Structure 1
Amino acid sequence: MDGHCRGKTRCWARAAFVLALALALWCVLWEGWLAPLRPGGSWLTLKALPIAAALPGLWRGRRYTAQWASLVTIFYVAEGVLRWGDSQGVGFFAKGETFLALALFAALLVFARRAGRQGEDGAA
């Protein structure tokens, strides 16, 4: 990374990358160590894989990746909202996941829209 964004579209792509990375790490830490469903960790750490798969494409600023990642992100929002009132006291983690997923969704939409307007396919 060259230290700064060139144009607002590139900044949105970087914001989406950072938010996707944060969401993937949040999911792994939540389900693996901080508040797993079972002592010692949970297979739910694997839920981080779909959004982690988007990281290389987001880093390269690929519009197509932002489009499909925005669809995947909705599942993280849904899971977070559903687990807010979980009896195991994981509301904090669920709210964090929901916030990160919503922020990521917004960044992905703005990036994809701006890239589409500029005719960028991100294949460079």
Structure 2
Amino acid sequence: MLAGHTSEGLPIWPLHVMLLGLLGVVAGYIGLWFAGQAEIRPTGLTTILMLLPAIVVLPGLWRGHYKTMIWAALVALFYLLISATDAWAVAADRGWHVLIAAASTLAFLAAWWHSIKRRRFLKARNNAAQGMARDMARDPDPDPDPEQASPKPED
């Protein structure tokens, strides 16, 4: 991975935005665990099990792996579903759940943007390779004779 780019040459910042979004989800659930006001809220083992999917995908996002980004996008949708439901159901901790929903939405939108850019990049690369293959089929000798290519005037 190049500095600031994935192995395919795409910018890595969307993956880091996803990483920050999932870290926001983790922070939201830890804040909910310690500072939540509702009578029924996730505690201890429930919070750890809840955060396990987010924690598992963090190293792959940092390295810029595309397959990890796909899984992280699904994890972000999972957290969006849970936090949106809990925000409507538990008025006492609505702020924490809105924070988690906003962070997971940010992570998913970054994944969506990166996926669109990757698809366009791969399509352009495929079209360029097909164009090169067509050119090679027309002219199998890409290196012309140097004497014919650039005739030098005699002095």
TM score, norm. by length of structure 2: 0.63
Report the Cα distance in structure 1 between the residues aligned to 2:46 and 2:100, rounded to whole angstroms.
13
Other-structure match for 2:143: none
Deviation at 1:44, TM superposition (A): 3.0
Is the Cα–Cα contact under 8 Å of residues 31 and 96 in structure 2 kept in the other structure?
Answer: no
Q: Note closer, same or farther for the CA distance 1:53–1:10 as it changes in structure 2 (3 Å cut).
A: same
Report the Cα distance in structure 2 between the residues aligned to 1:101 and 1:87, rounded to whole angstroms.
19
Q: Note closer, same or farther for the CA distance 1:102–1:87 as it changes in structure 2 (3 Å cut).
A: closer
Unpaired runs of at least 5, structure 2: 123-155
Q: Note closer, same or farther for the CA distance 1:67–1:45 as it changes in structure 2 (3 Å cut).
A: same
Is the Cα–Cα contact under 8 Å of residues 73 and 104 in structure 1 kept in the other structure?
Answer: yes
Deviation at 1:42, TM superposition (A): 3.9
Is the Cα–Cα contact under 8 Å of residues 21 and 106 in structure 2 kept in the other structure?
Answer: yes
Is the Cα–Cα contact under 8 Å of residues 21 and 103 in structure 2 kept in the other structure?
Answer: yes
2:99 maps to 1:96: yes
Is the Cα–Cα contact under 8 Å of residues 73 and 105 in structure 1 kept in the other structure?
Answer: yes
- CA offset digits 1:7-42 (Å, max 9, x no partner): 762111211111112212222221x20117569x34
Provide the aligned length of Structure 1 versus Structure 2.
Answer: 116
Report the Cα distance in structure 2 between the residues aligned to 1:37 and 1:110, rounded to whole angstroms.
39
Other-structure match for 2:17: 15
What's the % identity of the aligned pairs? 19
The farther-off stretch of 61-70 and 82-91 is 82-91
The equivalences for 1:58-97 within 5 A come to 58-87=61-90, 89-97=92-100
Other-structure match for 2:34: 33
TM score, norm. by length of structure 1: 0.76
Q: Note closer, same or farther for the CA distance 1:87–1:81 as it changes in structure 2 (3 Å cut).
A: closer
Q: Note closer, same or farther for the CA distance 1:65–1:87 as it changes in structure 2 (3 Å cut).
A: closer
Unpaired runs of at least 5, structure 1: 120-124
